[in-house]
């Protein structure tokens, strides 16, 4: 009987192409000791964490969720996973929903079947924390130093969080009525529920000694000089609140607006229904998807009193009432992209959702001119098919066409608004930074987030953590330290041993060579997590069976039901499925207690550490007097945790 395609998922081998000669087991065992090498247990960083802009210890909280790493006696696994997750990122619920998850693209499980649903587990951790009322640990005593943070978005809030955990007070200045930045004013509520966002913001503020001054624009209401007098350091987290206009003839027409303006009008409640029936958005990234998805949900006004100038509603010159919003039908919404759908920068599932909701996506096209009427208003957009040469589009001759449009939205990028702060402007609307996230030539000034270079919300959160480290050194008048190649928020074996009361003994200074009996260090263990990311070719992937991903449920609308559908689309995993998904983690670069090395060692040299002395990362050790250096333990280790490196 033929093998079905479902049974042929795992077609990789342990060895690379070209390794066609079978290694004799007699040679491996009886002559292997010529290598003079014994196993060393080497902790490395997994690629999920290496791909995470915030540097979350993803493998760590997955290990906790699956029950492998045990929490302290008085802590539930859910709260322990929350603590591990938020050591790097204080927004697990929000990032579990909206982060495009570069960690999942980097996941080594992609080489077996499908990535681990990291976002879904993170959302479960964050939602459980909110439901159970988990709080951050008590903040340390104050240092007496105070930092000004300009901008209350993800970067600024992250900086405040990490600074307070280092003992430094801060004051957040924001020119909006609420904190949250693009999470509050740029992403629609059906993707970022505002009650959850406010909860995660308030949990940070609950650490104490984080003052908030909203409706205050630095550079207008208060000067940079005033900040320098009042505070010991300044963090610029002003974000990119100015969208880029369409750079084609006619792109400055009054009814050509930016994606930032459109989404801000919607998220502040000014825009309740589309005041037009034909909208075209130029983009291909996440912002453009949000624009067209919101437009389909809003629908168009079906009444005789529709406004002549739809941009007046966007800019707040004309108010809409609930009665007008109730009279609506489906709008004609089109998204255009230079790139084909498979290469668009928006998340793949967001593109599929937009198509299902009735958005027309024209890919591989570029705008060349806005068509204007005799009043200078846009009535259409000249387009041409294009092919991409790298990141440069080339027009296809003879492929021109016109899209009708009453409102054209440009979602092709964002820039900073540094009015009143011109001394910080690098000439391109951004702020320069050095490797420590310090503004060059301005001592005590640091910068994080999109104003450096527009990227992900998670990237801004990671910047906040790095800047907090640099500021901590600066405030203590210490030389700024070079950061490790891989982020600092990884598993710490000594911390875990301390938690279990298994700290190594104090080194007496007398012994110069380690032995398996010495207790002043962890036996044949090396931590290279700060320097190395482990790749899939170091793993024994044949150990892992095909296991389907536990997917979050989605109940997104279709084109017929999208109007007025502002409920959250994603249904989070329950505890059972979150744990099942966590168990799909291959624990790259860290022992997950499979016992392969113990079972397959022909000399019985590899042994389990006594239960009362073991912990995560310290499950097995080696008896040097028995080991012959046969390498079998390293070859059967699924996680790449064993190197043959001890010896001459």
Give 7's pLDDT tier (boundaries 50, 70, 90). Answer: very low
Mean pLDDT value across residues 533-562: 92
Instruction: Report how many domains make up the chain.
Output: 3
- 459 and 374 belong to one structural domain: no
Which residue spans within 439-595 are E strands per DSSP? 445-447, 525-527, 553-554, 570-571
Q: Please answer whether residues 241 and 260 qualify as being in contact, where contact means their C-beta atoms are separated by less than 8 angstroms.
A: yes
pLDDT value, residue 164 = 98
- 369 and 316 belong to one structural domain: yes
Q: Quick check: is 4 in a domain?
A: no
Which of 284, 277, 336, 333 shows the shortest CA–CA distance to 301?
A: 277
- 165 and 199 belong to one structural domain: yes
Give 349's pLDDT tier (boundaries 50, 70, 90). Answer: confident
Is the confidence at residue 107, as pLDDT, over 50? yes
Q: Quick check: is 291 in a domain?
A: yes
CA-to-CA distance for 59 and 55, rounded, in angstroms?
11
Q: Quick check: is 485 in a domain?
A: no
Q: Please answer whether residues 448 and 237 qualify as being in contact, where contact means their C-beta atoms are separated by less than 8 angstroms.
A: yes
Q: Which long-range contacts (CB under 8 A, 24 or more apart) does 5-9 make?
A: 9/113, 9/546
Q: Would you give the DSSP letter of residue 214?
A: -
Q: Quick check: is 108 in a domain?
A: no
- 512 and 604 belong to one structural domain: yes
Q: What percent of the chain has pLDDT over 70?
A: 90
Is the confidence at residue 307, as pLDDT, over 60? no
| Strand (E) or helix (H) holding 408 | strand 407-410
Backbone angles phi and psi of 234, in degrees to 5: -130, 135
- 179 and 322 belong to one structural domain: no
Q: Please answer whether residues 275 and 305 qualify as being in contact, where contact means their C-beta atoms are separated by less than 8 angstroms.
A: no
The residues pairing with 39 across neighbouring beta strands, listed in sequence order, are 644
Is the confidence at residue 648, as pLDDT, over 60? no
- 404 and 276 belong to one structural domain: yes
Q: Quick check: is 97 in a domain?
A: no
Give 276's pLDDT tier (boundaries 50, 70, 90). Answer: confident
Mean pLDDT value across residues 548-564: 92
pLDDT value, residue 8 = 44
> Mean pLDDT for the chain?
90
pLDDT value, residue 521 = 80
Which of 173, 415, 395 shows the shortest CA–CA distance to 287?
A: 415
pLDDT value, residue 231 = 98
Outline where 208-258 has alpha helix (H): 224-230
CATH number at residue 18: 3.30.70.20
- 217 and 310 belong to one structural domain: no
User: Of 101-115, 301-315, 418-432, which range is least confident?
Assistant: 301-315
Q: Which of 412, 428, 446 is the last residue of a domain?
A: 412
pLDDT value, residue 515 = 63
Is the confidence at residue 278, as pLDDT, over 70? yes
User: Of 26-30, 88-92, 129-133, which range is least confident?
Assistant: 26-30
- Parallel, antiparallel, or unpaired for β 392-395 and 401-404? unpaired
pLDDT value, residue 324 = 53
Which of 249, 487, 474 shows the shortest CA–CA distance to 382?
A: 249
Is the confidence at residue 21, as pLDDT, over 70? no
Is the confidence at residue 4, as pLDDT, over 50? no
Q: Which of 430, 447, 475 is the last residue of a domain?
A: 475
Q: Please answer whether residues 417 and 425 qualify as being in contact, where contact means their C-beta atoms are separated by less than 8 angstroms.
A: no
Helices 194-205 and 154-164: crossing angle in degrees, nearest 10, is: 30
CA-to-CA distance for 140 and 272, rounded, in angstroms?
45
Q: What tens digit of pLDDT does each residue of 185-220 get?
A: 999 999 999 999 999 999 999 999 999 999 999 999
Mean pLDDT value across residues 281-307: 83
Range of the domain at 307: 244-412
Backbone angles phi and psi of 414, in degrees to 5: -135, 160
Mean pLDDT value across residues 4-21: 50
Q: Following CA atoms 490, 493, 499, 503 in sequence, which dihedral angle do they give, to the nearest 10 degrees?
A: -150
Q: Which is more confident, 343 or 325?
A: 343
Q: Please answer whether residues 621 and 524 qualify as being in contact, where contact means their C-beta atoms are separated by less than 8 angstroms.
A: yes
Is the confidence at residue 73, as pLDDT, over 80? yes
Give 6's pLDDT tier (boundaries 50, 70, 90). Answer: very low
| Strand (E) or helix (H) holding 596 | helix 596-600
Q: What tens digit of pLDDT does each residue of 251-266 get?
A: 999 999 999 999 999 9
- 294 and 188 belong to one structural domain: no
Q: What tens digit of pLDDT does each residue of 394-416 get?
A: 999 999 999 999 999 999 988 89
Q: Which of 361, 380, 412 is the last residue of a domain?
A: 412
Is the confidence at residue 2, as pLDDT, over 70? no
CATH number at residue 458: 3.50.50.60
Q: Following CA atoms 341, 454, 110, 81 in sequence, which dihedral angle do they give, to the nearest 10 degrees?
A: -130
Is the confidence at residue 222, as pLDDT, over 80? yes
Q: What are the distances in angstroms from CA 212 to CA 23, 152, 156, 169, 574?
A: 66, 9, 11, 11, 35
- 398 and 249 belong to one structural domain: yes
Q: Which residue has tokens 């649903």?
A: 117
Which of 92, 162, 114, 117 shows the shortest CA–CA distance to 10?
A: 114
Q: Quick check: is 52 in a domain?
A: no
Q: Please answer whether residues 282 and 251 qualify as being in contact, where contact means their C-beta atoms are separated by less than 8 angstroms.
A: no
- 455 and 328 belong to one structural domain: no
Q: Quick check: is 378 in a domain?
A: yes
Is the confidence at residue 241, as pLDDT, over 70? yes
- 230 and 288 belong to one structural domain: no
CA-to-CA distance for 638 and 563, rounded, in angstroms?
50
- 186 and 257 belong to one structural domain: no
Q: Six-digit token pair at 350?
A: 């967001």
Q: What are the distances in angstroms from CA 60 to CA 63, 85, 135, 426, 615?
A: 5, 8, 19, 39, 13
Q: What tens digit of pLDDT does each residue of 496-514 get?
A: 999 889 888 888 777 666 5
Mean pLDDT value across residues 108-121: 96
Q: Quick check: is 184 in a domain?
A: yes
CA-to-CA distance for 344 and 362, rounded, in angstroms?
11
CA-to-CA distance for 238 and 174, rounded, in angstroms?
8
User: Of 151-155, 520-524, 535-539, 554-558, which range is least confident?
Assistant: 520-524
Mean pLDDT value across residues 224-245: 95
Q: Which is more confident, 591 or 2?
A: 591
Q: What tens digit of pLDDT does each residue of 451-499 get?
A: 999 999 999 999 999 999 999 999 999 988 888 889 899 999 999 999 8
């Amino acid at each position: 009987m033929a093998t079905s395609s479902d049974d042929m998922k795992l077609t990789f081998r342990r060895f690379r192409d070209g390794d066609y000669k079978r290694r004799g087991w007699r040679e491996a065992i009886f002559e292997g000791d010529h290598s003079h090498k014994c196993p060393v247990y080497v902790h490395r960083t997994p690629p999920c964490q290496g791909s995470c802009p915030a540097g979350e210890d993803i493998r760590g909280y997955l290990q906790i969720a699956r029950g492998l790493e045990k929490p302290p006696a008085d802590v539930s696994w859910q709260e322990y996973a929350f603590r591990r997750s938020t050591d790097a990122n204080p927004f697990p619920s929000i990032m579990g929903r909206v982060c495009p998850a570069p960690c999942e693209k980097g996941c080594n499980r992609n080489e077996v079947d499908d990535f681990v649903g990291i976002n879904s587990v993170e959302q479960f951790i964050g939602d459980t924390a909110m439901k159970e009322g988990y709080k951050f640990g008590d903040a340390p005593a104050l240092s007496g130093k105070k930092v000004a943070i300009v901008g209350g978005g993800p970067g600024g809030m992250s900086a405040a969080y990490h600074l307070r955990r280092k003992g430094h007070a801060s004051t957040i200045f924001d020119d909006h009525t609420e904190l949250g930045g693009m999470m509050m004013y740029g992403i629609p509520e059906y993707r970022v529920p505002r009650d959850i966002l406010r909860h995660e913001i308030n949990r940070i503020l609950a650490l104490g000694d984080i003052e908030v001054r909203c409706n205050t624009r630095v550079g207008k209401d208060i000067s940079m000089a005033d900040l320098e007098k009042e505070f010991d350091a300044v963090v610029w987290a002003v974000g990119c609140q100015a969208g880029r206009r369409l750079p084609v003839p006619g792109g400055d027409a009054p009814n050509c607006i930016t994606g930032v303006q459109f989404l801000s009008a919607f998220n502040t409640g000014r825009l309740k229904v589309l005041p037009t029936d034909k909208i075209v958005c130029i983009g291909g990234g996440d912002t453009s998807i949000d624009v067209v998805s919101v437009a389909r949900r809003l629908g168009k006004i079906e009444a005789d009193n529709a406004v002549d100038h739809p941009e007046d509603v966007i800019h707040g010159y004309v108010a809409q009432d609930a009665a007008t919003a109730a009279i609506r039908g489906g709008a004609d919404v089109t998204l255009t992209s230079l790139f084909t759908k498979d290469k668009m920068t928006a998340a793949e599932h967001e593109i599929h959702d937009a198509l299902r909701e009735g958005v027309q996506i024209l890919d591989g096209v570029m705008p060349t001119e806005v068509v204007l009427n005799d009043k200078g208003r846009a009535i259409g957009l000249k387009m041409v098919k294009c092919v991409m040469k790298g990141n440069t589009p080339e027009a296809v001759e003879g492929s021109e066409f016109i899209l009708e449009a009453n409102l054209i939205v440009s979602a092709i990028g964002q820039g900073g608004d540094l009015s009143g702060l011109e001394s910080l402007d690098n000439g391109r609307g951004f702020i320069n930074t050095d490797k420590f996230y310090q503004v060059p030539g301005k001592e005590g000034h640091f910068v994080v987030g999109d104003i450096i270079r527009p990227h992900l919300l998670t990237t801004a959160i990671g910047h906040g953590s790095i800047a907090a480290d640099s500021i901590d050194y600066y405030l203590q008048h210490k030389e700024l330290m070079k950061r490790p190649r891989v982020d600092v928020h990884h598993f710490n074996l000594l911390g875990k041993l301390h938690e279990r009361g298994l700290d190594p003994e104090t080194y007496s200074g007398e012994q110069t060579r380690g032995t398996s009996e010495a207790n002043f260090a962890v036996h044949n263990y090396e931590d290279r997590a700060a320097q190395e990311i482990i790749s899939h070719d170091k793993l024994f992937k044949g150990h892992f069976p095909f296991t389907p991903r536990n997917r979050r449920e989605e109940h997104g609308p279709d084109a017929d039901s999208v109007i007025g559908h502002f409920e959250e689309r994603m249904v989070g995993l329950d505890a059972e499925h979150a744990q099942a998904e966590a168990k799909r983690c291959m624990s790259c670069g860290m022992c997950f207690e499979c016992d392969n090395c113990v079972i397959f060692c022909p000399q019985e040299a590899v042994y389990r550490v006594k239960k009362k002395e073991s912990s995560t990362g310290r499950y097995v050790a080696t008896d040097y007097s028995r080991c012959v250096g046969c390498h079998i333990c390293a070859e059967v280790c699924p996680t790449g945790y064993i190197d043959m490196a001890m010896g001459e």
